[in-house]
Amino acid sequence: MIVFAAWVVLPAAAAGIYLGLFAADQYVSRLGFTVRREETSLAPNILGGLAQLSGSTTPDSDILYEFIQSQELVAEIDRRVDLRSIYEQPTDPIFALRAGATVEDLVTYWRRMVRLYYNPGTGLIEVEVRAFDPVQAQRVAEELLSVSSEMINRLAAIARTDTTRQAREEFDAATARLRTARQAVTLFRNQNRIVDVSADLSGQMGLLGSLQEQLAEAMISYDMLGKTAQAGDPRLLQAKARIDVIEARIEGERGKLGGEGTGGRAFADLVGEYEGLQVDLEFAEAAYLSARSGLDAVLSEARRQNRYLAAFVRPTLAEASHHPDRLGIWVLLSLGLVGSWGLAVLTFAALRDRR
């Protein structure tokens, strides 16, 4: 009985006295929030498939859940409201924060006084913030909501910066490609002294057609003159000379098309090279317009806040204290003391019987 009194009765009585007379009342401020995103679709060709923004909130809520328990958040709230002065209670050394606590001690104590309830399926986070004064509990809860919102805004800003950077890189690459294509066309024109190959080719073909017509007329005139004039007639010689000159000119123009064109190169080769440069230029212009449209859309979207913290329960102000649960703590402690005493008695009895 002496051992029972020393092991169970006295500690249980001391715990009851402490819980009843010295343990400070704790008030709870409750709040609830989730991370929301605006479901937005940009142009389908922006960044090769990065245009569709996901509407899922689970990853952001996971990050926020871990952030609320982090040293960074605790240190920031402590800087704003001085958590040490709020949670240090000289009359309650067990449930209060000890004096001179380090930031690591403060984080450990924070996880005792701030309870998180998270539903991964819905992304909803509910928080209970405890303090020894209802106004201070509400104030800490408001600062928790404010710091969490700032963190989500930073995540959104980082995402916008990354998306904008990629769009700018695409636009810069398209601009450089267009500039290179235009320079290649200009260089081709300067080297070959041709402004428009198609126009020059059309003119060359028109000239050949005209020469062919003149040759046909000259040959007909020669044949008709040959039927009436005598051999050695000067008119026949002149008509034959005209035919020879036209044929020579036709051969010369055909030579330009086939192998002795501008700059000693065949016109067909020039046309092929020019068409290739034109295809590159058209592709570069299309890519530039697409990248420009994508950049404009991304910049427009970046001006909007598409990710934000939505509080469905604002920090509440408690009117009554429900913590610590004095009766529950005392009953559990008493049962633990009785159980440990009974185990010790059974162990001692077993050892004595062995002897």
Helices (H), 20-90: 58-68, 71-81, 83-87
Tokens describing residue 80:
């704003």
Q: How far apart are CA 20 and CA 337, in angstroms?
A: 19
Per-residue pLDDT of the chain (355 residues; tens, 9 = 90+): 888 888 888 988 988 888 888 888 899 999 999 888 765 544 444 444 444 433 444 478 888 999 999 999 999 999 999 999 999 887 888 889 988 889 999 999 999 999 999 988 888 999 999 999 999 999 999 999 999 999 988 888 887 787 788 888 888 999 999 999 888 888 877 777 665 656 665 666 676 678 788 878 888 887 787 777 777 777 777 878 888 888 777 777 666 555 544 455 566 677 777 778 888 888 989 998 988 888 888 777 766 656 778 889 999 999 888 888 888 889 999 999 999 988 988 988 888 888 7
| Amino acid sitting at position 265 | R
Provide the 3-class DSSP secondary structure of residue 42: coil
In the chain, the DSSP E strands lie at: 27-37, 114-119, 124-131, 307-313
Task: Kindly tell me the burial class for residue 191, based on how many C-beta atoms sit within 10 Å of its own C-beta (0-12, 13-18, 19 or more).
Answer: exposed
Evaluate if pTM is beyond 0.75.
no
List the one residue out of 257, 295, 288 whose CA is nearest residue 47. Answer: 295
Please name the residues in contact with 317: beta carbons below 8 A apart, sequence gap of 6 or more: 29, 134, 135, 138
Determine whether domain 21-169+304-329 maps to CATH 2.30.30. Answer: no
Cα-based distances in Å from 271 to 241, 261, 262, 283 = 34, 11, 11, 18
Q: How far apart are CA 125 and CA 118, in angstroms?
A: 5
CA 47 from centroid of its chain's CA atoms: 11
